[in-house]
């Protein structure tokens, strides 16, 4: 009887021991599973955090790049405006300088023209024939053969850019004057010409 009780008791202890062992194993497995789950969750959270940090870092880099790009564009635009303003200033100065040079050149040209004009007037005053000299010149040429011919001044005429004294050779009759020929004398050079009425040309006579 005692042996049976002891045997039962022994079996009961074994069962309890096995139950305890199984319970401990299950508890260890559950704990380990929970640990692994927590670890995985921490890894996931850490990865998400790293990913978020990378995204934020990338966003910040993009913002910085955009800000830097805008800064560079602004600096470039400012430099271009400064260069344009400088170029306009230089061009304005060149225009003013050219205008000044043109004004100075015009003044020089005007003074030169005035001087030449004055010189020409002086030369003309010194070289131009008088009407009387022109009459004497033509008379000397044409009256040598006929003493009855007279030469008189009629008018001054510009022909082919030159000034001429126009003289008339005539016979002074008792009741009228008979024109014999017309003569042109260059006011400047003193060259004398006879006017060909039919061809309207000047024929040199001296």
pTM of the model: 0.40
**What region, left, alpha or beta, does residue 161 occupy, with left being phi > 0 and alpha being psi -120 to 50 degrees?**
left
Confidence (pLDDT) at 82: 86
Confidence (pLDDT) at 119: 46
Strands, sheet with 149-159, edge to edge from the N-terminal-most edge strand? 149-159, 162-172, 177-186, 192-196, 201-204
pLDDT profile of the chain (206 residues), mean per 10: 61 78 84 82 84 87 88 88 87 87 86 65 60 93 76 95 95 84 96 94 91
Torsion of CA 110, 114, 119, 122, to 10 degrees: 170
Query: Token pair of 79, please?
Result: 């430099």
Confidence (pLDDT) at 99: 87
Task: Provide φ and ψ at 195, rounded to 5°.
Answer: -85, 120
């Amino acid at each position: 009887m005692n042996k049976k009780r002891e045997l039962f008791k022994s079996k009961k202890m074994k069962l309890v021991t096995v139950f305890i062992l199984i319970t401990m194993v299950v508890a260890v497995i559950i704990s380990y599973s929970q640990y692994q789950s927590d670890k995985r969750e921490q890894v996931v959270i850490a990865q998400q955090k790293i990913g978020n940090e990378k995204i934020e870092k990338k966003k910040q880099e993009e913002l910085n790049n955009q800000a830097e790009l805008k800064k560079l564009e602004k600096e470039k635009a400012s430099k271009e405006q400064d260069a344009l303003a400088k170029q306009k200033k230089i061009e304005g100065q060149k225009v003013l300088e050219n205008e000044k040079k043109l004004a100075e050149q015009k003044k020089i040209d005007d003074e030169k023209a005035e001087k030449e004009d004055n010189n020409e007037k002086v030369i003309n005053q010194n070289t131009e024939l008088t009407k009387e000299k022109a009459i004497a010149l033509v008379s000397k040429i044409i009256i040598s053969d006929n003493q009855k011919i007279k030469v008189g001044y009629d008018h001054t005429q510009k022909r082919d850019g030159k000034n001429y004294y126009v003289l008339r050779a005539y016979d002074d009759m008792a009741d009228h004057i008979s024109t014999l020929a017309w003569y042109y004398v260059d006011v400047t050079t003193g060259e004398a010409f006879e006017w060909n009425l039919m061809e309207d040309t000047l024929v040199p006579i001296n």
